[in-house]
Amino acid sequence: MREPRLLQDTREQQSRKVAAALLLVVALTFFVWRVALREDKMGVEMNDSEAGMSMHDPEAGINMAATVASVLSAPQKSYAVSSDTPQFVVLSFDGAKSLAMLQETLDFQKKMYEEEKPLQFTYFISAAYFLTKETGKFYRPPGEKAGISKIGFSDTAEDISERVALFNAASVAKNEIASHAVGHFSGSHWTYEDWRQEFRQFNSIFFHAAENNPSIKVAPWLIKPKDIVGFRAPLLGINAALYEALHDTHFIYDASGIARGGNWPEKDAYGIWRIPLGTINVGTQKIPIIAIDYSIWKYQSNAKEEVMRGSARWNAYFRDVTKAYVDYFNHNYNGSRAPVVIANHFSKWNDGLYFEAMKAFAEEECGKPYVRCTTFSELVNYLETTGPPHD
């Protein structure tokens, strides 16, 4: 039986999708997001995640393309696992601007607990959202003048007060707060001192929200500097200098890399656990895409809002993404039990498709025997106390 026309791609459309996916690999769309300093029509921010590397930097493009090629061709290691080896599922959100979506994540977590499917998230926070345009002068990006942020700042001072309250609530609910730096600049060319400067400013801005915004009342943080132990680089823009700076700033893990999936995290020479994002195989073509919402949106819709919830295409895309997540889980669960690492942003692209797919995936897998849907820091605790399975 022929597929309904709305669900059937023409050969030309399929060719374009395959070509676009290959371009994602070669041009590093796995790693990067284009800056969009606006919010979408649904009131959910886009600027948490669309900031991206300029393709006018051919050297960076060549180097990162080589990294992607290396990742995709990396051999699968073998591990001695048993049926009671835990399967970690680590779900995270980058950004922090959309208060409505932050509340939705907490509501979903509460629902999961009520269903006896424990789930904690990791929130990689951009500290720029704890300043306003007026107080943005307190931030000076490495190599830039003060008051500049690639993602802007909080819309209002009142939003900052609510943002602090919500992240305090997230912490009480056993979610993890981690760092996504401040102004969403790529650090791929930063020096050690540049990274250290950015980390100092993260603490200065994040933990001094009340002092930096005296016009509003801000509740005291329940989160302490010692609790911020993880980092994900904006644009996944990393270099060798980062890891020494992470060590000297007392971070214990980095979540900026990518991997094919199936291999356990490893600790580097600085004592930093490298916990990469996974890759998933999307659609009938099984195109490898980084397991992060923007990259999937870029592949499915060329980063354009083109499907509405309830439409045939929305449903087809949703099934493709959910299946890709479940296949990723099953590959690891039935094999090496390596952590499943999936990332989202505080954005609802394609009418919430990717947030809904993540929730559907969590509903299906969390709560199963030996499955731990938990935070990066809890995964690191396991790695430190038990260690990855021996190969």
pLDDT of residue 271: 97
CA distance 228 to 245: 14
* 225 domain residue, yes or no: yes
Whether 347 maps to a domain, the answer reads yes
Measure the N-to-C terminal CA separation of the chain; round to a whole number of Å: 47
Assess if residue 82 is contained within a domain: no
Q: What's residue 78's pLDDT?
A: 87
Among 294, 277, 292, residue whose Cα is nearest residue 46? 294
Residue type, 27: A
Identity (one letter) of the amino acid at 361? F
Please report whether residue 81 resides in a domain: no
Q: Is residue 390 part of a domain?
A: no
pLDDT truncated to tens, each residue of the chain (391 aa)? 444 444 444 444 544 544 444 444 444 443 334 333 333 333 333 344 433 333 334 444 444 444 555 666 678 888 999 999 999 999 999 999 999 999 999 999 999 999 999 999 999 999 999 999 999 999 999 999 999 999 999 999 999 999 999 999 999 999 999 999 999 999 999 999 999 999 999 999 999 999 999 999 999 999 999 999 999 999 999 999 999 999 999 999 999 999 887 899 999 999 999 999 999 999 999 999 999 999 999 999 999 999 999 999 999 999 999 999 999 999 999 999 999 999 999 999 999 999 999 999 999 999 999 999 999 999 999 999 999 998 6
∠ CA 245-248-251, nearest 5°, is: 85
Q: How many folded domains does the chain comprise?
A: 1
The pLDDT value recorded for residue 69 is 56
What is the reported pLDDT for 68?
53
Query: Which range of residues forms the domain containing residue 296?
Result: 5-73+87-385
Burial code (b: 16+ CB inside 10 Å, e: under 16) for 71-83 equals beeeeeeebebee
CB 6 within 8 A of CB 313: yes
Return the CATH number at 11. 3.20.20.370
340-345 and 87-95: which strand pairing?
parallel
Does 78 fall in a domain? no
Kindly state whether residue 79 falls inside one of the protein's structural domains.
no
Query: What does the alpha-carbon distance between residue 178 and residue 192 come to, in Å, rounded to a whole number?
Result: 20
Label residues 162-196 b or e (16+ Cβ within 10 Å = b). bbbebbbebbeeebbbbbbbbbbbbbbebeeebbb
